Amino acid sequence: MPQSEKPMQGKVCLVTGATSGLGKATATQLAELGATVVLGCRDRAKGEAVKAEITSRTGSTSLELFLADLSSQKSMRQGAEDFLSRHSKLHVLVNQAGLYVSERQVTEDGLERMFAVNHLAYFALTHHLLPALKAAGSARVVNGSGGAEAMGNIHFDDLQGEKKWSAFRALTQSKLGNFLFTYELARRLEGTGVTANVMHPGGVKTELGKGAGGPFGVMLRLMRPFMDTPEKGAETLVYLASAPGLEGVTGGYYVKNKPAKSSARSHDGELAARLWKVSAGLSGLPA
């Protein structure tokens, strides 16, 4: 298809976690659709290698790097400033970078790592880039998450797992955080032209949890032969980012390109507002 006829031609899409798994597959598919794809990465050399790989696979030369360590508030602010100095408009933000760790880790900001990267980075980055999303006239925030939200709770008395930590507790909290954030964001952005939706990719064979110990590690290794490829798993992210039929559709949860039902807790507006306030405080943003 000639470049000028590609459906995402002229759209700027930023994908976090673009160096691996679901994020990389999403970036590749958006490049195939003609978008200018900004590859979120924390390591320049790794980002450049993925950029070259996507160019050779798709023929696209409209690729750039967005350098930021998403576990660091300072780094995210710098990355966003750099992006905003180059682009006045952002049509699609795909928040997909995330991780699983089997031991409690603390970031340079003193936060538990899964809380910081899986949840807080979605919140902070979206806020830093909101001027460009709003300036696009019609824009989409697509939040990659997981069905583990249904087993999660937000432990306001111990958000960083200082008193009690397990990988399961921290992971499920962060995933529920994605849903509460998405639904609250959609409510707050009503009428701005910016939509927000969340998705679960199913089980996908990526680098996630490779080498992880404990029950999650065992489960991942057992499930691996039955998991989807990253390309298949990314389809819902790409659908939410690009499907013309989803123009204006917001506050939804999608699995395999279809609307799905998330937990009752994920729809708790009070919980969402409380998490929003805490997240804004931790990100140095106004509530």
Ligand X SMILES: NC(=O)c1ccc[n+]([C@@H]2O[C@H](COP(=O)([O-])OP(=O)(O)OC[C@H]3O[C@@H](n4cnc5c(N)ncnc54)[C@H](OP(=O)(O)O)[C@@H]3O)[C@@H](O)[C@H]2O)c1
Give the interface with ligand X as residue ranges (CB under 6 A): 17, 19-23, 42-43, 46, 69-71, 97-99, 117-118, 144, 146, 200-201, 203-204, 206-208
Q: How far apart are CA 117 and CA 178, in angstroms?
A: 11
Shortest Å, Cβ 249 to ligand X: 21
Minimum CB distance to ligand X smaller for 233 or for 252: 233
Minimum CB distance to ligand X smaller for 80 or for 204: 204
Minimum CB distance to ligand X smaller for 170 or for 275: 170
Minimum CB distance to ligand X smaller for 136 or for 252: 252
Shortest Å, Cβ 99 to ligand X: 5
Minimum CB distance to ligand X smaller for 37 or for 97: 97
Cβ neighbours for 73, distance < 8 A, ≥ 6 positions apart = 109, 124, 282, 283, 284
Shortest Å, Cβ 20 to ligand X: 3
Report the C-alpha dihedral over residues 42, 48, 54, 60, rounded to 10 degrees.
110
Which stretches within 37-152 are classed as H helix? 44-58, 73-86, 113-114, 121-135
Minimum CB distance to ligand X smaller for 9 or for 109: 109
| Angle at 146 (CA atoms; ends 218, 214), nearest 5 degrees | 20
Asked whether 265 and 153 are in contact (CB, 8 A), the reply is yes
Residue among 166, 150, 161 nearest 216 (CA):
166
Shortest Å, Cβ 270 to ligand X: 25
Of all residues in the shown chain, the one whose CB is closest to ligand X is 98
Residue among 176, 201, 182, 190 nearest 264 (CA):
176
The SS3 of residue 181 is: helix
Shortest Å, Cβ 212 to ligand X: 11
Shortest Å, Cβ 113 to ligand X: 8
Shortest Å, Cβ 208 to ligand X: 4
Q: What is the DSSP letter of 150?
A: G
Minimum CB distance to ligand X smaller for 99 or for 275: 99
Q: How far apart are CA 175 and CA 43, in angstroms?
A: 25
Which pair of structure tokens corresponds to residue 7? 């459906």
Asked whether 77 and 50 are in contact (CB, 8 A), the reply is no
